[in-house]
Amino acid sequence: MNEPPESDAALVARCRAGEQAAWSELVERFSRYVYAITVRGFRLSETDAEDVFQEVFARTYEHLDRLRDDAAIRPWLAQTARRCCIDRIRASGREEPTDLELGTEESEEQIARLDEAMDVRAALDELPEHCREILDGFFACDESYRSIGDRLGLPAGTIASRISRCLAKMREILEGRKVSSAASGELR
């Protein structure tokens, strides 16, 4: 298994110190999250989603010095994305925005679900590389067994069983986190 990735707070601190590589990593780490909020949470068109996506990261870059808590970069991004999406819907001049589009309970639930998905993705980073490639390729990128097999030099017929084994390893990581969180009193 790989080491857990660098914490969000440490990554933000490196961004603030002006490290270009850290900023690239921060964008990489949260790009799927922001993208999903725009297209799944608020159902923006691709054009609007692209504008909002860039705006969210531009605001984040501008406000790095003013973050109150570096570890809270994810909720900060979510909140910024929400505001940008709502502004975009209101400014589009199309029909009256629906409650869903304006960030009511349903879109909040969707964002909470995306937060859970981000936690699962963090566990993905702790898996061996072949597991990351297989699980991400199959579930997030919609790749076929054949395409994954060709890319990784593995027989397509073995991909299904590898998926199952990799998911089992991922579950171990996630369940282990719960146990250690509970033991350290984080879960109340």
Partner 1 sequence: MTRYDEQSLAELLALLPPAPTAWVRAAQELPLLEKGLGEVLERAETDVEFRARLIADLEAALEAEGYDADPAVVEALRARLDDA
Binding interface with partner 1 (CB under 8 A): 18, 20, 23-24, 27-28, 31-36, 40, 50, 53-54, 57-58, 61, 113-114, 116-118, 120-121, 124, 135-136, 139-142, 164, 167, 170-171, 174-175, 178
Nearer to partner 1, 46 or 105 (CB): 46
Nearer to partner 1, 140 or 156 (CB): 140
In the complex, minimum distance from the CB of residue 155 to partner 1, in angstroms, rounded to a whole number: 22
In the complex, minimum distance from the CB of residue 40 to partner 1, in angstroms, rounded to a whole number: 7
Nearer to partner 1, 17 or 96 (CB): 17
In the complex, minimum distance from the CB of residue 179 to partner 1, in angstroms, rounded to a whole number: 12
CB 71 within 8 A of CB 8: yes
Nearer to partner 1, 93 or 184 (CB): 184
In the complex, minimum distance from the CB of residue 91 to partner 1, in angstroms, rounded to a whole number: 20
Question: Sign of the C-alpha dihedral, residues 20, 25, 28, 34?
Answer: negative
